[in-house]
A and B are shown apart, each in its own frame.
Chain A
Amino acid sequence: AQTVTQSQPEMSVQEAETVTLSCTYDTSESDYYLFWYKQPPSRQMILVIRQEAYKQQNATENRFSVNFQKAAKSFSLKISDSQLGDAAMYFCAYRSASGNTGKLIFGQGTTLQVKP
């Protein structure tokens, strides 16, 4: 069974600075997808960034980028130029690439505080 672990329950960053959220996962599959979701206080889950396991190039979406280390089963999220609106809970998630499933396996989440 696949598992996702986020070892940082809480993180804080100064506005305009950079922060990195950690995520590790365990799987025996070779093809899968990884995601970072953001859940602000409104509770609406928003997809931040996604990564295909067979692509070595790290995904980037504006101020958000990932460091994907397949051998180490690590998938960290870097937020550059942090903004007050980035304050939220962030979830790392895994989805198998087989079976045409939408099932997501989530980590426990990291609460990010952004200080003005």
Chain B
Amino acid sequence: KAGVTQTPRYLIKTRGQQVTLSCSPISGHRSVSWYQQTPGQGLQFLFEYFSETQRNKGNFPGRFSGRQFSNSRSEMNVSTLELGDSALYLCASRRAGGGISYEQYFGPGTRLTVT
């Protein structure tokens, strides 16, 4: 079974631009979560989608948004990029359900650099 895939793997953008990152979950997984990883703030939860609905949202400004499509693929968008948005963005998917076995499977990440 193919793992979580993220595209692109690397991205360089300029301040003020916007960017869209894509995540394809493992087949059969309907929940997708996004995390931002930086050296200073560590791993922070951005949002979680399930069946095209945002279920949870982290403490990020409105410039960060996301969506999920009917095939469970997800995109996240960051508008008006700032230098501080430079980070590794990780996507994780899991099957629907609340038990401990419904674990997160992570993708390889997208490394975003804002100049």
Contact = CB atoms under 8 A, between A and B. Distances in A.
B108 A107 contact: no
Contacts of A62: none
Interface residues of B, number: 26
Interface stretch (A15-23, A43-51, A71-79): A43-51
A46 B94 CA distance: 14
A101 B108 contact: no
A31 B112 CA distance: 36
Interface string A48-60: 0010100000000
Contact of B45 (A37, A44, A46, A105): A105
B-side binding surface: helix, strand, loop or mixed?
strand
A107 B42 CA distance: 8
Contacts of B48: 101-103
B31 interface: yes
B45 A50 contact: no
Interface in B47-66: 48, 55-56, 58
Shortest Cβ-Cβ A-B pairs, 7 listed: A45-B106, A106-B43, A100-B98, A108-B42, A33-B100, A103-B56, A102-B94
30 contacts: A42-B108, A43-B108, A44-B106, A45-B90, A46-B106, A47-B103, A47-B104, A50-B103, A52-B100, A91-B43, A97-B100, A98-B98, A99-B98, A101-B56, A101-B98, A102-B31, A102-B48, A102-B92, A102-B94, A102-B102, A103-B33, A103-B45, A103-B48, A104-B35, A104-B92, A104-B104, A106-B42, A106-B43, A107-B42, A108-B42
